């Protein structure tokens, strides 16, 4: 059962050997790509080196090499293969967009840093930062990374330079796993239960943390491999960055329930002698998120609402579209609340911004990026332009475009425009020709037929490739590949077009997507070992209704045609009971209900259900071991479970 696909970005170690031949097969950057990247560099303010100063400011220490292993000796985080920061004048490889190369160099600065005396960050130990605030008797940890192992290693680095006082509180700024998954690497559940440690989070955190990617989790997990370059080598012809940070760890994701909830802006807490003023910002970068201000330090934590890049209004791994207008308004509110009181801004990714005016400028221009994209998309939509047209029409004004922190390293203007259009107008552009198009394979076969056949298309596409028209080559070769997936010549030409587009991409996710697509066109899909993305802690925290919602989307409707099954489930340990019914090829469930006419009744503890959900035990084995009691028709139980699909993570993307 694969969920929380943001945590399925952990295949690097196992995939390198499988795809070892990738570089040998890749096309080299063409003259057009080299020229495009050179021209790109001319249009940006590379003389502005303030980020290099800020990214290194407050540096305390780092290990000579950064390799983190779990208890079994498996590598869960390895920083060493990535291209390193050498100097400001490190030449950009021809295979990397110069702006993205600059970002990747800045994200290569890892270690322990001082934000202010009493506020520290460990950067580069995961995709996110872990912040440590010195309290009266101990430390307050903010956003403890993805994995228990990386968070623990980050604390070990901190304790090498500061007194080993206890962690007395943990703050989750928002509901994405890279901001809570390592919590058990810094505190124990026992200390939380005995009220030695507070866990502070925004309202709605648990529901959002568990549910955001549950129902479409398998598809999101597969697509995340593309977005985060999990199958690519870590070098100048593969993944160089994710835009937000180097990459993601592959350790143990953990979760401890919050003990204190923030539910409104202006809410104040004193935590171990430190005053916090919170800004509640739900529905911005995450469904459940909050910023906070530390008046003692004149320091503002912006969670992930502002970063060192334009963020995603729509994340390419797949998720619900974020509200650009609400996001922008909340940043404007931040300025109003704290702007004239702030001397430094720090966040869950990237490096801080120091200076009051610099902080206000940064907040204004981050917020205005989302507002500009929102407003201009709707302006053009109301003038009759379609989603794809608008995506090529909108360009940020120079005042925003020339700020490095507004560049599209993670989100892009193009796909964020499409997100705004989708949010308001949906997938249909109003043209009847696009209302009910053929499925991809059927469409491709007709397109190839109308274009004169595969050979004729490839010949013309090669000419376009030679002329640098890579976007069109990728599109037209996709028709040939979907019409005839055995045509390796078409696959190779499409792959070469993808590679040139990847080499030119400023956005790390775009680069990773293009290069992963090229890799699979050349080599096919090669499954590698992948960690389950829903850890035991996350499964344990899932309410039963969410488990049954997930079961419902696994029901194979055609296979269930004509079936009528009723099953009762009793959970005596948590005093809950449900009735599940299959009828009309739909699975419905009823909480607190028992059907006296049900064909079968199961009795089990919630932990047994958790084990079944995690795949740690089968129904047959649980029944044999006495963990499930069964009354009624055993065959009906077997029939019910035969109707559920088991999702294949490794479905095709670039081929039918």
Whether residue 67 has pLDDT greater than 90? yes
Mean pLDDT of the chain: 94
Sheet holding 59-61, edge to edge: 59-61, 111-116, 119-123, 130-134, 139-142, 167-171, 198-202, 260-262
What Cα–Cα distance (Å) separates residue 577 from each residue in 126, 570, 589? 41, 4, 10
Whether residue 103 has pLDDT greater than 80? yes
Q: What is the structure's pLDDT at 437?
A: 97
Q: What is the structure's pLDDT at 612?
A: 87
Q: What is the structure's pLDDT at 619?
A: 87
Q: How distant is the alpha carbon of residue 162 from its chain centre?
A: 32
Residue 277: name the closest of 355, 365, 171 by CA: 171
Domain 5-256+273-314+321-422 class in CATH: alpha beta
pLDDT band at 531 (very low <50, low <70, confident <90, very high): low
Q: What is the structure's pLDDT at 489?
A: 98
Which CATH code of 3.30.1050.10, 2.40.50.140, 3.30.420.130, 3.40.50.300 fits the domain covering 543-642?
Answer: 3.30.1050.10
Residue with tokens 């050498």: 86
pLDDT in tens, 590-638: 999 999 999 999 999 999 999 988 888 988 899 999 999 999 999 999 8
What is the bridge-based pairing of β-strands 139-142 and 111-116?
A: unpaired
Q: What is the structure's pLDDT at 14?
A: 44
Whether residue 649 has pLDDT greater than 50? yes
Q: What is the structure's pLDDT at 615?
A: 80
Whether residue 2 has pLDDT greater than 70? no
By 3-state DSSP, what share of the chain in percent is helix, strand and coil, each rounded to 5? Answer: 40, 15, 45
Alpha-carbon span 348 to 70, nearest angstrom: 24
Q: What is the structure's pLDDT at 9?
A: 41
Share of the chain above pLDDT 90, in %: 89
Intervals of CATH 3.30.1050.10 along the chain = 543-642
Whether residue 21 has pLDDT greater than 60? no
303, 291 Cβ separation under 8 angstroms = yes
User: Phi and psi at residue 75, in whole multiples of 5°?
Assistant: -75, 125
pLDDT band at 536 (very low <50, low <70, confident <90, very high): confident
Q: What is the structure's pLDDT at 616?
A: 87
Q: Compute the average pLDDT of residues 243-249.
A: 95
Q: What is the structure's pLDDT at 6?
A: 38
pLDDT band at 22 (very low <50, low <70, confident <90, very high): low
Q: What is the structure's pLDDT at 620?
A: 87
pLDDT band at 217 (very low <50, low <70, confident <90, very high): confident
Q: What is the structure's pLDDT at 482?
A: 98
Q: Which residue did the predictor score with more confidence, 23 or 488?
A: 488
Among the ranges given (14-18, 224-228, 462-466), the one the predictor scored with the smallest mean pLDDT: 14-18
Among the ranges given (15-24, 105-114, 416-425, 456-465), the one the predictor scored with the smallest mean pLDDT: 15-24
Intervals of CATH 3.60.15.30 along the chain = 5-256+273-314+321-422
Q: What is the structure's pLDDT at 73?
A: 96
Whether residue 244 has pLDDT greater than 70? yes
Q: DSSP letters along 621-656, please? A: HHHHTTSSEEEE-HHHHHHHHHTB----TT--SS--
Residue 302: name the closest of 283, 319, 281, 323 by CA: 281
pLDDT band at 11 (very low <50, low <70, confident <90, very high): very low
Q: Compute the average pLDDT of residues 635-656.
A: 93
Q: What is the structure's pLDDT at 416?
A: 98
Sheet holding 299-301, edge to edge: 268-271, 274-280, 290-294, 299-301, 344-346, 353-354
Longest dimension (CA), the chain: 77
pLDDT band at 462 (very low <50, low <70, confident <90, very high): very high
């Amino acid at each position: 059962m694969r969920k929380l696909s943001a945590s399925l970005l952990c295949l690097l170690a196992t995939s390198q050997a499988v795809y070892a031949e990738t570089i040998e097969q890749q096309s080299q950057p063409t003259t057009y790509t080299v020229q495009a990247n050179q021209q790109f560099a001319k249009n940006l303010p590379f003389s502005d080196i303030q980020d290099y100063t800020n990214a290194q400011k407050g540096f305390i220490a780092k290990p000579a090499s950064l390799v983190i292993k779990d208890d079994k000796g498996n590598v869960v985080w390895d920083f060493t293969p990535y291209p390193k920061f050498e100097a400001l004048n490190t030449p950009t490889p021809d295979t990397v967009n110069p702006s993205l190369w600059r970002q990747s160099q800045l994200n290569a600065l890892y270690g322990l840093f001082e934000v202010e005396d009493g506020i520290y960050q460990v950067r580069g130990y995961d995709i996110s930062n872990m912040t440590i605030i010195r309290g009266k008797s101990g430390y307050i940890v903010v956003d403890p990374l993805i994995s228990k192992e990386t968070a623990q290693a980050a604390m070990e680095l901190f304790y090498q330079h500061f007194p080993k006082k206890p962690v007395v509180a943990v703050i989750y700024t928002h509901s994405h796993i890279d901001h809570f998954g390592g919590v058990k690497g810094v505190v124990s559940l026992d200390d939380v239960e005995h009220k030695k440690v507070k866990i502070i989070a925004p309202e709605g955190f648990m529901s959002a943390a568990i549910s955001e990617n549950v129902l479409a989790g398998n598809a999101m997990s597969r697509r995340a491999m593309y977005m985060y370059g999990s199958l690519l080598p870590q070098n100048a012809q593969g993944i160089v960055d994710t835009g937000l940070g180097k990459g993601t760890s592959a350790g143990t994701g953990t979760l401890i329930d919050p003990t204190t909830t923030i539910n409104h802006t202006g809410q104040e807490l004193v935590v171990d002698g430190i005053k916090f003023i919170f800004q509640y910002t739900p529905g911005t970068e995450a469904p459940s998120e909050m910023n906070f201000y530390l008046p003692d330090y004149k320091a503002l934590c912006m969670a992930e609402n502002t970063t060192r890049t334009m963020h995603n209004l729509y994340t390419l791994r797949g998720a619900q579209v974020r509200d650009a207008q609400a996001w922008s308004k909340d940043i404007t509110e931040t300025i109003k609340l704290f702007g004239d009181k702030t001397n430094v801004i720090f966040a869950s990714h990237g490096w801080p911004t120091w200076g009051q005016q610099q902080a206000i400028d940064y907040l204004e221009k981050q917020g205005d990026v989302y507002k500009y994209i929102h407003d201009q998309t709707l302006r053009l939509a109301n003038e009759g332009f379609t989603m794809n047209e608008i995506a090529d029409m909108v360009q940020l004004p120079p005042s925003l475009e020339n700020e490095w922190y507004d560049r599209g390293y993670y989100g892009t203007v193009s796909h964020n425009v499409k997100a705004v259009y989708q949010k308001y107008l949906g997938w249909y552009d109003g043209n009847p020709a696009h209302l009910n198009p053929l499925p991809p394979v059927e469409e491709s076969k007709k397109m190839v037929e109308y274009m004169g056949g595969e050979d004729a298309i490839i010949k013309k596409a090669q000419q376009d490739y030679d002329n640098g028209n890579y976007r069109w080559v990728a599109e037209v070769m996709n028709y040939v590949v979907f019409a005839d997936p055995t045509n390796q010549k078409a696959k190779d030409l499409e792959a070469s077009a993808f590679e040139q587009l990847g080499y030119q991409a400023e956005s790390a996710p775009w680069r990773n997507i293009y290069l992963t697509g090229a890799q699979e066109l050349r080599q096919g899909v090669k499954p590698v070992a992948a960690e389950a993305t829903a850890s035991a802690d996350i499964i344990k925290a899932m309410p039963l209704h969410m488990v049954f919602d997930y079961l419902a989307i696994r029901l194979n409707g055609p296979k269930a045609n004509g079936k009528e099954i009723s099953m009762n489930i009793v959970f005596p340990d948590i005093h809950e009971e449900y009735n599940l019914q299959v009828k009309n090829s739909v699975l419905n469930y009823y909480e607190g209900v028992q059907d006296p006419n049900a064909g079968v009744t199961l009795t089990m503890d919630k932990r047994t259900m958790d084990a079944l959900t995690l795949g740690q035990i089968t129904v047959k084995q649980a029944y044999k071991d006495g963990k499930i009691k069964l009354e009624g028709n055993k065959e009906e139980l077997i029939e019910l479970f035969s109707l559920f699909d088991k999702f294949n993570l490794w479905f095709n993307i670039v081929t039918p």
